[in-house]
Structure 1
Amino acid sequence: MTDQREIALVDLLDRLLAGGVVIAGDITLRIADVDLVRVDLKALISSVGDAVPSPWKQVTP
């Protein structure tokens, strides 16, 4: 018997953002072996706090 656990979406997002998530993918639109459009996606999703400072300078209004 398999043990099933239910995890709330908020808990799942908290765990993912605490460690960070990297998303990568490629999409190519090709007709008759000719590449017409190519889209590369690379994204890093992570939380930023005192332990992990933001790489951008703070802007004060």
Structure 2
Amino acid sequence: MTEPAARQVALVDLLDRLLAGGVVLTGHLTLAIADVDLVRVDLNALISSTTTAGRPR
């Protein structure tokens, strides 16, 4: 039994696919000591190409 051939995708092709549809990144980080929140960082980012961002929905 032979293994299927590995499909290789170039980094440029991967970035092109991601930017064509847009990517949303969300993250939350809380630093706490003894159940007391000291620092809270929230990240919300939308990454897309200018063509995708200007396209009507």
TM-score by length of 2: 0.81
Identify the residue that residue 53 of structure 1 maps to in structure 2.
54
Q: Distance in 1 between matches of 2:13 and 2:43?
A: 26
Q: Displacement, 1:12?
A: 0.2
Report the Cα distance in structure 1 between the residues aligned to 2:46 and 2:33, rounded to whole angstroms: 31
For residue 12 of structure 2, what is the aligned residue in structure 1?
A: 10
Q: Which residue of 2 aligns with 1:30?
A: 32
1:52–1:22 Cα change, 3 Å: closer
> Normalization by structure 1: what TM-score?
0.76
Of structures 1 and 2, the one scoring higher in RCO (CA 8 A, sep 6+) is 2
Number of matched residues?
53
Query: Cα RMSD over matched residues?
Result: 1.9
Aligned partner of residue 18 in structure 2, secondary structure: helix
Letter in 2 for 1:44: L
For structure 2, which runs of at least 5 residues remain unmatched after alignment? Answer: none
